[in-house]
Amino acid sequence: MIGNIFSDYYKGELKTNAKSRFDITHSTGGYPFFESLLINKQKSNVGGLSFNYAPRPMQFKGNEKRLAEMIISKGCSSISSVYVPNLQKYYFAYGDVKTTNDAMIIIFDEDKKTIEIFIARGLKNDKQQLYTDVCAGYYDNELEAIRQSAKYVFKG
């Protein structure tokens, strides 16, 4: 394999009493568009980054066979649907960053208090295969390396 597949990393953690709000605590930075979707403009952690992980609102439309149960959103805007194809591996999911060709691999901790987002730029059409490969452990070293390169960014 030449080069890395994953270019960006964001770790969200429950930091407030809001059960669906995840504040970004660690990041590799370097993805201005994605960060512009997550920026906090009011309330807690102003200038920091956060997202909501919540059930998909019924008014969100899409292919009925492919509708995700959960989404990553900010305010009233969806950032990505979250697909968990294998319920035995419920801590792995995938999605894509809205209006881009970028794939997201999402990893939850056991109690879903931490959500890690790994971005694979330009690989939206390969997100299902990336998901399969991550579940099989093919990218364990790369995922750990990008985690280690992340910086603490929480401003709260």
Q: What is the per-residue pLDDT across 55-113, written as a single tens digit (0 to 9) for each? A: 887 765 555 455 688 999 998 889 999 999 888 888 999 999 999 999 999 999 999 89
pLDDT above 70 (res 42): yes
First to last CA, the chain: 39
Residues contacting residue 76 through CB under 8 Å, at least 6 positions apart: none
pLDDT at residue number 62 = 56
Structure tokens at 89: 């591996």
Structure tokens at 69: 């149960």
57 CA to centre of own chain: 18
pLDDT above 90 (res 148): yes
Residue type (1 letter), 60: F
Neighbours of 92 (CB within 10 A): 17
pLDDT at residue number 156 = 74
Structure tokens at 107: 């990893």
CB 9 within 8 A of CB 153: no
The whole model's pTM is what? 0.92
CB 24 within 8 A of CB 153: yes
Q: How confident is the model at residue 33 (pLDDT cuts 50, 70, 90)?
A: very high
Q: Could you give the percent of the chain with pLDDT greater than 70?
A: 92
pLDDT at residue number 67 = 64
pLDDT above 90 (res 134): yes
Return the domain boundaries, the chain: 8-152
